[in-house]
Copies of this chain bind each other. A is one copy, B any other.
Amino acid sequence: MTKPLLQLALDHTDLPAALRTAKALKNHVDIIEAGTILCLCEGLQAVEMLRELCPYKILVADLKVADAGETLALEAFQAGANWMTVICAAPLATVIKAHDVAKTYQGEIQIELFGNWTMQDARDWHAAGIRQAIYHRGRDAQASGQTWGQQDLDRMKQLSDIGLRLSVTGGITPADLPLFRDIDVQAFIAGRALSDATQPAQVAQAFHQQISAIWGATA
């Protein structure tokens, strides 16, 4: 099991604010994400400007693509993304087209798990070459009181066993990390826990310390 990375999700509605947060935190995280809100509000110039700001970071375009997999993957990878998200509700044809483009850019597609999906879907994605998925507690689900439960952890374990590395997101704080000790976690994604913190670098540090304490200091 490799050591999980820390991903900063930028879900600002305006680009200057997102860039300010990225600038303040880029040396404290492993992955930068142009969130769906940011991309919808400001367009893919958000990905371009984050690439310019962070030339050597892993950069995620969280587009939650449902259709037009080829067109959107071309746009995202040309803008500088390393990874792009496709929503689980997308037809398999869309996943395959996006993955084909990703390969030509040495990029990867991440399947974003929301709503109804099955372990057979997960096996189909894996058979199509996909190696990453994002396990979610949605912002709205979270606000309505839905917490991480044993069922989530069991499903994550099954997804790991299929061969999908998982990024985990949804109001995660350093205190939550021990929950996931048996899962093959690619990254923990934190948005407002980092960007809204009064001392964001210290929160990032707390994530890294907790990750090292649980998964070991070296990968």
Which positions in A face B, CB cutoff 8 Å? 11, 13, 36-37, 39-45, 63-64, 66-72, 75, 87-91, 93-94, 97, 112, 114-118, 121, 136, 138-141, 143-144, 146
Contact = CB atoms under 8 A, between A and B. Distances in A.
Contact of A88 (B45, B115, B144): B115
A63 to B, nearest CB: 6
Q: Is the interface of A mostly helix, strand, loop or mixed?
A: mixed
A168 to B, nearest CB: 15
Given A91-B141, A93-B138, A94-B141, 10 more contacts: A37-B68, A41-B75, A43-B43, A67-B114, A67-B138, A67-B140, A87-B87, A87-B114, A93-B140, A116-B118
Contacts of A116: 89, 115-118, 121
B43 A41 contact: yes
A91 B114 contact: yes
Contacts of A72: 37, 40
